[in-house]
Amino acid sequence: MMNQKNDSIESLATASLMTVASELFSNHHIITLPKGAKYTFQTIIMTLLHAATSVNNSLESASNDLKLKSFLTKIPSADTIFNYINCNNVEYVLSSFRAMNRDIFKSMNIKGKVHDIAIDFHNIPFYGDENTPLISGIKPKNGSAWGYSYCTLDIIGDVKLTLDVIAINGFNKNYFDLITFLFERLEKMQIKVGTVYLDKEFCNDDTISALTKLNINFVIAAKRNPKIMGILDNFKKENGPASTVFEYNFNKNGTYFNLVATHDEEKGYILFATNKDVKSIEIFEKSIPEEYRKRWNIETGYRVKNNFKIRTCTKSPVARTLFFVIQCTLHNILNMLKSVLEITAYELKSLINEDIIKVIRYGLKSLYIIPFKLFLNYLNMYNKTRKRDLRNQLLRI
């Protein structure tokens, strides 16, 4: 076992993370190249990864930079890569992302375990014609009320992974159907849900009805409205500036839920919708806002994903989706590695990009090749051995 442990550590230390990432994209054909393509899949992926991991964070800049650094490898132009990308469709890219995730999830051993989940919309402002495919109305941001919108499903807590991505358009943003569809996908992934955390955009009867029907615990940041504020004003007159919990529904036939109103001297009432049982009002008022703070993990996840952002002005919905999927995949690879190694987003970017330059500059096919499945086996072996050694140390104390 000691030899296996040493072998796994040595393999993890010498593996090329560029090779690991590019093989993952290759195994599941994140895009399909057209017949007679002049450039190889690996060269296309390396150029995309260079855009995602270097200061040259647009496809045009990444292509030009690699052309300057390459002695032997022919580098495609950004226009050529966009042409290759546009031979695909959005759903193909998303289905490939889900296939890549299945490999990553195996190494994380997340199936059959209870996880808290966050669902959110990731909006990218768009400044062209709002009739462009995949463009929908979004919350106004940076001077635009139109953009590309993706619904993301994330595990939050000690494990952080983007489980799924759904491309949103004006026709499929039906909250009841969307929530139902997302939890059907979770069931297929064999993920058990503890509590789902959502922001104010999901605080509506359709979302709450779907979650109630699915028997899923939820905590949702709630919006103020005249009806709610009337209830709170009456409560305040009778009890003073205190926190409270009361049963509420949005309309006559709507689903009832608990509305937690915590009173803040500066902000007034802060509202949360939940279907959790009220055993003690005092504990309930304190625990629900504290629980909701878990959702901040998804905001941290957005910042990490933005480390791998490929900037572009393209109107292509396929390219936009591919670039977002690359962000999410590299975010998942990072968190997969974090389960056994101390590594930051910056370090992962540097390691991948250093290897890309070596391959491109000297015309190498690859570096330190370890098949992706074997790499995952080494991760699992190292993780199990580390946990066993820790248990043995605790027993000796």
Asked if 234 and 326 sit in the same domain, the reply is: no
User: Which of the residue ranges 91-95, 97-101, 290-294, 386-390 would you say has the lowest mean pLDDT?
Assistant: 386-390
Lookup: tokens for 316: 């292509």
Residues whose CB falls within 8 Å of the CB of residue 125, separated by 6 or more in sequence, listed in order: 138, 141, 142, 143, 144, 146, 147
Asked if 330 and 274 sit in the same domain, the reply is: no
Specify if 100 maps to a domain.
no
Predicted confidence band at 148 (pLDDT cuts at 50, 70, 90)?
Answer: confident
**pLDDT tens digits, residue range 193-242?**
999 999 998 999 999 999 999 999 999 999 889 999 999 999 999 998 88
Residue 3: pLDDT over 60: no
DSSP track, 224-276 = P-HHHHHHHHHHHHHH-S--EEEEE-SSTTSPPEEEEEEEETTTEEEEEEE--
Asked if 152 and 286 sit in the same domain, the reply is: yes
Asked if 255 and 351 sit in the same domain, the reply is: no
Whole-model pTM: value is 0.84
**pLDDT tens digits, residue range 232-270?**
999 999 998 888 889 999 988 889 999 998 887 778 888
Token match 């450039």: residue? 39
Asked if 138 and 263 sit in the same domain, the reply is: yes
Domain hosting residue 125, numbered range = 110-305
Look at residue 52 in the predicted model and tell me its pLDDT. Answer: 94
Please state the domain count of the chain: 2
Predicted confidence band at 9 (pLDDT cuts at 50, 70, 90)?
Answer: very low
Distance of CA 137 to the CA centre of its chain: 21
Specify if 96 maps to a domain.
no
Q: What are phi and psi of 173, to 5 degrees?
A: -90, 55
For residues 370-394, average pLDDT: 58
Asked if 228 and 328 sit in the same domain, the reply is: no
Look at residue 230 in the predicted model and tell me its pLDDT. Answer: 93
Asked if 58 and 119 sit in the same domain, the reply is: no
What's the rounded Cα separation, in Å, for the pair 74 and 219? 52
Instruction: Between 389 and 156, name the one with better pLDDT.
Output: 156
Specify if 311 maps to a domain.
no
Asked if 301 and 321 sit in the same domain, the reply is: no
Specify if 102 maps to a domain.
no
Asked if 182 and 279 sit in the same domain, the reply is: yes
Look at residue 38 in the predicted model and tell me its pLDDT. Answer: 94
Look at residue 49 in the predicted model and tell me its pLDDT. Answer: 92
Q: What percent of the chain has pLDDT over 90?
A: 40
Integer angstrom CA distances of residue 109 from 164, 336, 389: 17, 10, 19
* Domain edge (last residue) among 305, 336, 370: 305
**pLDDT tens digits, residue range 311-357?**
998 888 899 999 999 999 999 988 888 877 778 889 888 888 888 88
Predicted confidence band at 299 (pLDDT cuts at 50, 70, 90)?
Answer: confident
Nearest to 152 by CA among 332, 27, 294: 332
